[in-house]
Structure 1
């Protein structure tokens, strides 16, 4: 029930962030852009396997170089591992060793600013448009069943040190850069690279900040590609 409540709150927050796109202008306002693509996240230092995300992005791009964007991202499951103390049924005692788990899927909302290196973005002859972007992101792990196993493949159900969070609610910042190539004045492909820095809510609110809790979603770089459709009305 708790996870349903959190997801409901997330949905309300997402709806509020899209208030700027209300009424009939949502789909057909001049300069409105819609993007659908994927992001590949690369985790290092036992952070886990490469993970694929599906991303929708919406923005309003006019003659001004600076614009806002809103992203909704669904990050798929992945693998992670970490060194921990845990109870081993086969040994009958507490041991230290590597544990291997399944990173849950995450639903993330991003909101930020994008700067485009062009003077007249909506003109048809702008085929290549480089950009920079910086945004805030907030997410929720969609389940907490990490399915831990030891190196022999035995399930680990006892408490571990460090422990895993019962609910993971990451938030942080994302910085990125890339380029959009327009096949036509309306349709293009957007490729870019990004880096995400995460913070954990409990660590900023007086909770544990001594590595007694391990959060599977770690800081990481990524690359993205998306199809971009831009509303371009004739005068």
Structure 2
């Protein structure tokens, strides 16, 4: 094609048809430019198509990850609330003056308030997107910002979890083991081996050792329970905030996926 155009230009030049030659040369240049622009546009379309496919794949991965996190945070929030209620019931029992008459209930509550869990977020997809530099593929500015902030929010949450854990084991457990037969907690629980389905053996029968309720320091008892509730309430507050953040992120993801499929 180029050789064909060259022959035409040569013929016009040798025939001294300058005007026609210039018009033809300009037309040829415009044709080449249009061809280049068309090729670039096709390349841009192909790249855009690949980017859209990559973005949709990332969005689907994020949706699965944050749906999993939403389930986990719901379990954690529910557990946190029950622990706070358990602490409240222990304090009510302390103030009632009827702990000895309701010792079995107390055994159950002492076991329960120590069965707190923790929200362990799944972050594989988010970490891979950020660490691999793929974050720019996501066109939603709000979603990108929230994903970059997600790690920091989890770090803040872990600080509250660690503080609750340390307080429980450094303050509550020493007090409990010195004053209560914690082995009685086995009478109110059933643990199953998750690998085999086998029910793990528990201690049979209550402990022969009894709490000396007359010498029990009730103010200290109430204080350690209140401190545990106080720390647990902070975890509950943080988990509730994380739940709202997860829901917001999922709404952004859902909206973007919907737009991609239109």
TM-score when normalising by structure 2? 0.22
User: Which entry has the higher C-alpha Rg, 1 or 2?
Assistant: 2
Q: Greater relative contact order: 1 or 2 (C-alpha under 8 angstroms, separation 6 or more)?
A: 2
More strand by share: 1
